[in-house]
Amino acid sequence: MFMSNKKNMKNSYHNYKMLGLFNRKFKITERKPPPDVIDAFSFCTGGTSEMSPEMFRRFLVEFQGQGVEGVSVDDAKKIMEQVLHRVRPEFKTCCFGLDDFFKYLLLDDLNGPINTQVHHDMNAPLQHYFIYTGHNSYLTGNQLNSDCSDVPIIKALQRGVRVIELDLWPNSAKDGILVLHGRTMTTPVTLDICFKSIKEHAFVNSPYPVIITLEDHLTPNLQAKVATMVMEIFGDMLYRPQKGDKDEFPSPESLKRRIILSTKPPAECKLQEEIESPSSCKNGKLTDEKFNSNQEDNISGLNQDLSQILRIDFEDEYEDVENEKVGQKSPPEYIELIGIHAAKAKKGLRKALTEGKGKRLSLSEQTLQKAASQYGTDLVRFTQKNILRVFPKGTRVTSTNFRPLEAWMHGAQMVAFNMQGYGRSLWMMHGMFRSNGGCGYVKKPDFLMRTGPNNEVFDPKAMLPVKKTLKVRVYMGDGWRMDFSHGHFDKFSPPDFYTKMYMVGVPADEAKKQTKIIKDDWHPVWDEEFTFGLTVPELALLKIVVREYDVSEKDDFGGQTCLPVSELRTGIRTVPLHNKKGDKFENVKLLMKFSFE
């Protein structure tokens, strides 16, 4: 096993036992600043061995692009003192040597790749923002038989998620309310536990509003119980809509530390003639003839049969009406608490997208794809006045997720994700919501909210010219020796690392690049530059994955991150890496350089 870090760092060689018979020695490469770092230090110091606060300020302005007016000498000095207190506590004079300067560059809290402060305009209406949204937020695992709990809700809120989804069902005695995934074998949790945890943890990460979307399967008397529970637990924290709010949503700034309920107004929950003809209702689900006739075209027969046998709650955008009763009235005290009204596509999706404003519409990922292919500009126009929520298809029983880019390209504010899972799509979600200080609200690009003189809007299918070019230089990696065991990647030699970069965004901007493989080195130095042309940089994400090359098996995972291109800070930056679930490693990082043309 790996020896203690301090002891091992003093050795000159790695020792690996080959087949249990003999030792293989590999020289430990010393972590050194790359040539660009040495050149920057020398340029700013005029070739001397010490960097003063004035010289460090010059580096921040000329190399890091932090602006002449944005950084004073006092600001530079404060940063230097923070660094020196950590790396050389006995310092007498506030100045950097080359080693101090290099150590500063590797501190991601002081020299990270994106702005960690809220800096977007937070005074626009809610529909102007992408909102960090969870799906089935109470599930601890898969969609079929995992436990329901408040624990994943707490974790989501701590990560910055701003939309929590709860499915409400009566208990067996019909006198209590449970939260569970309907028509599955998931074990329930009581609603009061979920509400109390939301109240306690709602604003630990962000002060901006938390929206609770309720999928309500309750009788009127239980809805009255929900209303009482909401008022007792949340009290003045609850946002209660005022006259006129239905036409224009409030802003995140005006709703700081407020809780908002969103569900379908119960008074509309009755069978009526305007719910289309009986031929459009199948298995208790209303369908849109144009969009749902082949809704499961791309799902395998096995998964489709499985979902039908288990009667998975598809959370379809077309309401389940099997338990609704004509004339059944819902309590007004419940209706009055609904801050964002959810609508349903009673007369077809196209009509729902072109009528009314100040509402929320939910679509499955498949329906979003089909709507985007048929009339994407109508989706964009709808999201300028309303909120669109997109949720995973019901057959994602293992809590996987879909690629969110198409939804964002069409202005969808709430892209609902299974936060308890992991995978490349979830990495993209984490990346998008690192924007704006990780507060959970990201201002949509202006072009998604703009309307031309002839009522034209952004067309996601339009071919656009390259607007900006991003240059990325990957210098080196560090930290694996401290976060992984000696033989984690290879039992017989040090690891062989390489870095892959994926540009994710509109189809024209998609690209993939890869560094060379550095053999047998815990401190790989690549020093390679790559260029990405971007037509819509506002929606682009740079996904970075480090892997360890393996000749005979699948390459090992060495860390990942996803960064919003619009938020990248130029200059030489340290990029911390995360594990597959999105948790940050303690020490693993890359040293990179970003620049725009």
| Strand 468-478 to 584-596 pairing | antiparallel
Question: Would you call 433 exposed, middle or buried from its count of C-beta atoms within 10 A (0-12, 13-18, 19+)?
Answer: buried
- Strand partners of residue 548: 497, 556
Residue 292 domain-assigned (yes or no): no
Tell me, yes or no, whether 441 and 513 share the same domain: no
- Report if residue 150 sits inside a domain: yes
Both tokens of 394, joined, read 């019901």
Helices then strands, counting H and E runs in the chain, come out as 18, 23
Q: Each residue of 311-330: pLDDT tens digit?
A: 444 564 444 443 444 456 78
Task: State the total domains in the chain.
Answer: 3
Assign 266 a pLDDT band (cuts: 50, 70, 90): low
For the domain that residue 545 is a member of, what is the CATH number?
A: 2.60.40.150
Does residue 101 belong to any structural domain of this protein?
yes
One-character DSSP codes across 343-360 = E--TT-HHHHHHS-SS-E
- Kindly list the strands in the beta sheet with 525-534, ordered across the sheet, starting from the edge strand earlier in the chain: 511-514, 497-504, 541-548, 556-564, 571-578, 584-596, 468-478, 525-534
Q: Which residues contact 258 (CB under 8 A, 6 or more apart)?
A: 209, 210, 237, 238, 239
Query: Is residue 247 very low, low, confident or very high in pLDDT (cuts 50, 70, 90)?
Result: low
**Quick one: pLDDT band at residue 18, thresholds 50, 70, 90?**
low
Residues 230 and 343 in one domain: yes
DSSP structure class, residue 440: S
Across 151-174, average pLDDT: 97
- Tell me whether residue 221 is in a domain: yes
Length of the chain, in residues? 597
Where residue 192 falls among pLDDT bands split at 50, 70, 90?
very high
Q: Which of 60, 76, 105 is the last residue of a domain?
A: 105
546 with 496, same domain?
yes
Q: In angstroms, what CA-CA distances link 396 with 247, 287, 300, 307, 452? A: 35, 20, 12, 10, 39
297 Cβ neighbours under 8 A, 6+ residues apart: 366
Q: Which of 230-234, 356-360, 452-456, 541-545 has the lowest mean pLDDT?
A: 356-360
For residue 87, report the phi and psi dihedrals to the nearest 5 degrees. -95, -25
The verdict on 84 and 147 lying in the same domain is no
Beta-carbon neighbour count of residue 117 at 10 Å?
Answer: 8
pLDDT of residue 327: 53
Distance CA 65, CA 52 (A): 19
Higher-pLDDT residue of 296, 88: 88
Whole-angstrom Cα distance, residue 493 to residue 357?
62
Query: With 0-12 CB in 10 A as exposed, 13-18 as middle and 19+ as buried, what is 407?
Result: buried
CB 232 within 8 A of CB 312: no
Please report whether residue 118 resides in a domain.
no
pLDDT in tens, 356-414: 777 999 999 999 999 999 989 999 999 999 999 999 999 999 999 999 999 999 999 99
Q: pLDDT digits over 467-478, tens only?
A: 999 999 999 999
**Other C-beta atoms lying within 10 Å of the C-beta of residue 248:** 13
User: Same structural domain for residues 484 and 374?
Assistant: no
Q: Which amino acid does the sequence have at 350? A: R
* Displacement of CA 288 from its chain's centroid (Å): 30
Residues 131 and 253 placed together within one structural domain of the fold: yes
Q: What pTM value is reported for the model?
A: 0.89
pLDDT tens for residues 402-451?
Answer: 999 999 999 999 999 999 988 999 999 999 999 999 999 999 999 999 99
- Determine the Cα–Cα distance for residues 98 and 93; give it in Å rounded to an integer: 15
Mean pLDDT, the chain, integer: 87
Place of tokens 């060689």: 13
Q: Specify burial of residue 21 (Cβ count, 10 A radius: 0-12, 13-18, 19+).
A: exposed
Instruction: Kindly state whether residues 381 and 492 are assigned to the same domain.
Output: no
What CATH number does residue 39 fall under?
1.10.238
* Same domain flag for 248 and 158: yes
Helix/strand/coil (H, E, C) string of 205-242?
Answer: CCCCCEEEEEEECCCHHHHHHHHHHHHHHHHHHECCCC
What residue type is assigned to position 82 of the chain? Q
Of 202, 217, 91, 165, give the one whose Cα is nearest residue 418: 165
Question: Cα(428)–Cα(436) distance, rounded to whole angstroms?
Answer: 15
Which residues make Cβ contacts (< 8 Å) with residue 64, sequence separation at least 6?
Answer: 569, 570, 571, 572
Lowest mean pLDDT of 66-70, 179-183, 250-254, name the range: 66-70
Q: Report which of 156, 155, 178 is spatially closest to residue 167, judged by C-alpha positions.
A: 178
Nearest to 142 by CA among 397, 419, 402, 401: 397
The pLDDT-based confidence of 307 (bands split at 50, 70, 90) is very low
Separation of CA 297 from chain center: 28
How many Cα atoms within 13 Å fall on the side-chain side of residue 531? Answer: 5
What is the model's pLDDT at position 355?
77
- 355 plus 474 within the same structural domain: no
Active site (catalytic) residues: 135, 181
- For residues 432 and 422, is the Cβ–Cβ distance under 8 A? no
Beta-strand pair 414-417/129-134: parallel
Of 72, 105, 138, the residue at which a domain comes to its end is: 105
CB 129 within 8 A of CB 252: yes
**Domain-embedded: residue 328:** no
Q: Report the alpha-carbon distance of residue 420 to residue 200 in Å, rounded.
A: 20
Q: Which residues pair with 546 in a beta bridge?
A: 499, 559
Shared domain check, 257 and 152:
yes
CATH code, domain carrying 412: 3.20.20.190
Kindly write down the DSSP assignment for every residue of 162-190, as one continuous string. -EEEEEEEE-TTSSSEEE--TTS-PBPEE
**pLDDT value at residue 16:** 72
- The per-residue pLDDT for 346 is 73
CA 76 to each of CA 79, 344, 588: distance values in angstroms, whole numbers, following the listed order: 5, 55, 26
Helix ranges (DSSP H) in 293-401: 301-310, 332-335, 349-354, 365-383
325 compared with 196, residue with greater pLDDT: 196
Q: 300 is written with which tokens?
A: 């395998």
Q: Map tokens 């038989």 to a residue.
A: 145
203 assigned to some structural domain:
yes
Residue 379's domain comprises 126-266+333-446
Lowest mean pLDDT among 240-244, 374-378, 479-483: 240-244
Residues 472 and 386 in one domain: no
- State the DSSP code for 419: T
Report how far residue 189's alpha carbon sits from residue 116's, in angstroms, rounded to the nearest whole number.
35
Whole-angstrom distance, CA of residue 15 vs CA of residue 2: 10
CA atoms within 13 A on the CB side of 256: 8
Does the pLDDT at position 279 exceed 80? no
User: Where does a domain end: 396, 412, 446?
Assistant: 446
Distance of alpha carbon 249 from alpha carbon 258, whole angstroms: 14
* Pairing state between β 22-27 and 13-18: antiparallel
365: DSSP letter: H
- 414 and 370 both lie in a single domain: yes
Q: Model confidence over 77-124: pLDDT tens digits?
A: 999 999 999 999 999 999 999 999 999 999 999 999 999 999 999 999
d(CA 402, CA 395): 12
Q: What are the tokens at 4?
A: 């203690």
What are 571-583's pLDDT values in tens digits?
A: 999 999 999 999 9
Do the beta carbons of residue 550 and residue 556 sit within 8 Å?
yes
pLDDT in tens, 165-181: 999 999 999 999 999 99
Q: What average pLDDT score do residues 336-352 get?
A: 86
Residue 405: both structure tokens together: 């880019």
The answer to whether residue 111 sits within a structural domain is no
